[in-house]
A = this chain, B = another copy of it.
Amino acid sequence: MSKLRVAVVGASGYAGAVATRLVATHDRLALAFATSDRLVGEGVAAQLGARVDPAVRFVANAAALEHGDACDAVLLATAADVSVRLAPAFAERGKQVVDLSGGFRLAAADYPRWYGFEHAAPAWLERAHYGLPELFGAPPPGALVANPGCYPTAALLALAPLVRAGLVEPTGLVVDAKSGVTGAGRKGGEEYSFVEIDGDLRPYKLLAHQHTPEIARALSAPERPARLTFTAHLLPIARGLLSTCYARPRPGATPERVRACLADAYARTPFVRAVAPEQVMLKRVVGTNLALVGATADADVVVAVAAIDNLLKGAAGQAVQNLNRMNGWDETTGLNGLQRVTP
């Protein structure tokens, strides 16, 4: 069985590094090449601890396209503006593309405000598939896959079934999210030093986080635009993301109904499990591609909670899951050997 040759562009960031390791241990994938400007010329195996041929070395990001023929698929773990340029180029050469950035997740009109640039490939935006498999199915053939953001993955897994079922109002939503530091990417700078983060907790980008419109868009239907307040907090841990979501109940939103709604939505999904909301906790997901979701309600509110590993189900694991589905493989391929960190 020949393997699908996968390139990872931006392989020295946290999500890119995890993606590279997953490719290296996946039975049906082989690492075509990995790019990193920071590590160009260094060995991929030595730098990442990835199980690839020790002779394989990082190439520069700028060389990604010129090496394009060496790959069948590409995982873009690049900044949004870089992805906007690279993804169409790879796609037009017939490569499977999964973009881990925010470059293909919003409407074109939203890019200047939320990402600070005019979108250069609006036609490809139309053809992009939002790759949250449990809510949006398998990518259609030829689609460029926009791999969801970590915060949107968690918020949508918790809220989308409830909104779709009409159990909660689609407006007035509050998503209070807490993420480990890897969610901020590989950072130097005193601000992200151990001493400054350890034991700390803080909100950031209040009322201004670029994942807000991504969540709203994925929750909206033409007749039912969604509207939400989103707050991100930086947790003093490396990995893991938990979102606590508050929604106004619509008639019939009893505790039993909201629980059943999530249970039904995820009855057959290998990576998403509905549990009691107090059972939604990071330690049961970190290290794995699992998401846990749970909800309850009273007369005033529906509370729905979700937990994921931000680098796996929130980034690289979901990217591999999307690759699996694009190729018709079992969607757990290459993700089963992952083990949770808390024993």
Residues of A within 8 A of B (CB): 14-15, 17-18, 21-22, 25, 49, 51, 172, 174, 176, 178, 181-182, 186-190, 192-207, 227, 229, 231, 233, 235-240, 242, 244, 246, 277-278, 280-284, 286-288, 290, 296-298, 300-301, 303, 305, 307, 311, 334, 336-343
Contacts and interface: CB of A to CB of B under 8 A. Distances in A.
A188 B193 CA distance: 6
Contacts of A287: 287, 339, 341
Interface centre among A204, A206, A336, A339 (most CB of B within 10 A): A339
Contact of A341 (B199, B231, B244): B199
A18 B340 CA distance: 9
Nearest to A26: B337
Given A188-B193, A201-B281, A203-B244, 5 more contacts: A49-B290, A182-B343, A192-B193, A199-B237, A287-B339
A202 B296 contact: no
A338 B233 CA distance: 27
Contacts of A338: 337, 339
A189 B188 contact: yes
Contact of A198 (B49, B238, B244): B238
Contacts of A298: 207, 229
Contacts of A196: 194, 283, 342
Contact of A199 (B200, B286, B311): B286
Contacts of A189: 188, 193
Instruction: Give the 5 A-B CB pairs with smallest separation, nearest first.
Output: A337-B337, A202-B281, A194-B197, A200-B283, A176-B176
A203 B343 contact: no
Contacts of A311: 343
Contact of A14 (B195, B200, B307): B195
